[in-house]
Structure 1
């Protein structure tokens, strides 16, 4: 189910709110409310493919029991176990959780990619065709698996590290994993951060109003900004050989940069707003990332729940910056390459991550006192956005050949064919200059959503309501409007 759909806005959400607040009014137990939210989360997740609910329940049950194994390891001391034996028991539970979750993710997300890569290597080496059962080529990727696997996995790791308290019951943990606001596309919520909210939540009128307003802002951002930019980007990346001019290529990639930011930050706004309606407070996920003056700063502002996850569960365990300069660069590269692969099973995502890793290493090597670090901030913001545009080509293109051709066109290295003028005229007709200017104004001038909505003010709620109404009206004209990050 999609937040920006009629079934969600007019049926599912009202049903959830009526049921949840009806239970609050009746003073039912928090266990009953968690059972209700869990059931609604299952309906939300299994709307298009109910079988995927079984996979989510399987990983959830496994991690809950492995978490109990980690916590109960302390009881071995009563039976005379040594510290080393207790530690080994805890570590076994944590390792089993990491291995099983990553194995599930790898099977569903990377099997087809592995098969294609093996075939490509075989063709390149002249070994001939590799016969692979068709089953491995047609594995369907469950929606949101990259997000809920990370959230479930982090529970056991945090228990092992002593950074979280265990869930009071299997129902509480299942409710956390299946909580529909963050289930499919984040933010990545760690149990340790939300554990106290699972035990006790405060519901206020101001919090509810802020949640609705945040949802309205997010829906407006998605329908009124992201989707129009997506139409332009699709035209550019869907152009055939010789049908793209240098100008339309640049227009297309800038449109995609706007689309992916507004699309994903809109989802995060809506998720955070929905969570507030239920008394939960999620971490912020975006902080005006295109205002960044470096790639390092960009990753402190973009998809912050993922960047902190990669830092805490990958970069630091690899050694971080504690093992010398060379090892730091290696750790940065590995972290970003794996982060790229997390987004999708494609060499394009690996290249995207590698470029970001190389830039993080380069900026660390150059330092603040170099010519690069000493440039005026506006110039650094422009240069950073330029680098991001290059990386977004790999993120958006269907494969490496398309990305290579698109980049070559951007820099005038490909001769435009006779159909390029036709597409250029079509795109310039479709492109509304005010839409680009509005996107640029929101990106580089306006404060971010959480700054605007840090507290409830009636006129901000009115703006949110207007954005909501206009976006809903537009939804009737554009039909289905999926979020980009559903595919990751």
Structure 2
């Protein structure tokens, strides 16, 4: 079940809101129970065969969290990390490793038919952060199993994040306020996220999918760049739209989740881009991998190793494909170059050139992310820079058909709405604008069944 589906909008969400708010506010544990039951049903609806995996993960990390007060808490923490990463490795990466070994060494090992649970990367990292925070004595262990289960499985962020850290919501699980203003803000945030997804991302997906279906050697340079730019806009409005909807849903139930995107395409460097993109993931790797490895408080060689290790893992976290690892290494190398050599040079450039520099390398990075194999990624990049194919006919067709969406996508990649919301006219415009956007979303959803979410596969 996706947030931008009619069954979610007209059946699931009204049902959970009704059942949640019919319970008096003073009975917060009952409200939590309602939210937990609906969250488990939400997951069961999309992954009925593997809901046991989610429940097992919750029970396992609940016990590990309680054990962090014992004398043997360090070896138990190591066991916890191994257990969680082993489950993630089996369900997400085992098929990849076996098929890669077969290709490289001709071993002929049969590839098992393992189905990856939806959202396993997200809920595994959330559970790990809880146990690690308890180990570090940053938070007390959660003795209420159902509260921990709600933290891990809460449907707004269960499938595709943001990765909510336990220390950010542990108090809210027991005590939180509900207000009409917060609920209204949640509806507004949800509808803007829904509009990003349905009205923009799905359109950019048509551009990206339409271009990437061609063999790279059939593309002109303009055609290849159009596909890369289309995907650059698609993935931003897809994932930031989902995060907006998740944050908005959280507010409807009294939770305050941290921001996950901060207009990353206005960045003036790759370093700044990664402070603005998928913030919950980058800070997770910073706090639980990069800093424990030594961070930047070490020798230059070790610092480079730490960065490469973190970004290789960041890429591999996204999926079992060499293209994701290459994508992570690509950004890791760029970050190292910026930190060690290019920072001073970049800041001396005019502001517009800094933006163009960052966007140029960001768009190239998304080619690795979108491609099905390393060979196709390299060939596609070759078409972007060296193609001698005449201008593809679809380039003109897409420009004529989609230019308003491309214009809106570029404009809305900048912080336009925060500036608009700070004006007096916003109070007059907000409700009619949201009503129009919701109507347009419904019309689009009724007219088309094409409604993918990129990050659901992670």
TM bucket (normalised to shorter chain) is over 0.9
Map of 2:384 onto structure 1: 410
Distance 1:440 1:66, change over 3 A: same
Cα distance, 1:447 vs structure 2: 4.7
**Kept in 2: contact 1:216–1:465 (CA 8 A):** no
Structure 1: how far apart are the matches of 2:427 and 2:317? 39
Q: Distance in 2 between matches of 1:443 and 1:228?
A: 15
Distance 1:267 1:290, change over 3 A: same
Q: In the alignment, which residue of structure 1 is the partner of 2:454?
A: 484
Contact 1:214–1:464 under 8 Å retained in 2: no
Please state if 1:421 is matched with 2:392. Answer: yes
- CA distances 1:128-184 after superposition (whole Å, capped 9, x unpaired): x3222342xx21111100000000011110001111122240010001111000000
Which residue does the alignment assign to 1:40? 38
Structure 2 match to 1:153: 128
Unmatched tracts of structure 2, length 5 or more:
none
C-alpha spacing 1:8/1:347, structure 2 compared with 1 (3 Å): same
Measure the CA separation in 2 of the matches of 1:159 and 1:241.
50
- CA 1:421–1:357 in 2, change beyond 3 Å: closer, same or farther? closer
Compute the displacement of 1:390 (Å): 0.7
Matched, 1:12 2:12: yes
- The whole-number CA distance in structure 2 between the counterparts of 1:197 and 1:458 is 32
Structure 1 stretches of 4+ with a deviation exceeding 6 A read: 449-453
1:473 aligns to what? 443
In structure 2, relative to structure 1, the CA distance for the partners of 1:345 and 1:452 (3 Å cut) is farther
Pick from 77, 80, 86 the counterpart of residue 103 of structure 1: 86
Larger radius of gyration: 1
Q: 2-side partners of 1:242 and 1:410: how far apart?
A: 10
Q: How does 1:39-58 map to 2 (within 5 A)?
A: 39-58=37-56
For the residue of structure 2 that corresponds to 1:23, the secondary structure is coil
Matched-pair contact (CA < 8 Å) for 1:390–1:407: yes
CA–CA distance in structure 2, aligned partners of residues 335 and 449 of structure 1:
35
Shift of 1:450: 11
- Matched-pair contact (CA < 8 Å) for 2:216–2:380: no
Q: Distance in 1 between matches of 2:314 and 2:145?
A: 30
Residue 393 in structure 1 maps to residue 367 in structure 2: yes
TM-score, length-scaled by structure 2: 0.95
State the Cα distance separating 1:458 from its structure 2 match. 5.9
**Where does 1:435-450 land on structure 2 (aligned, <5 Å)?**
435-444=405-414, 446-447=416-417
Over the residues paired in the alignment, what is the CA RMSD in angstroms? 1.9
Post-superposition offset of 1:471: 0.9
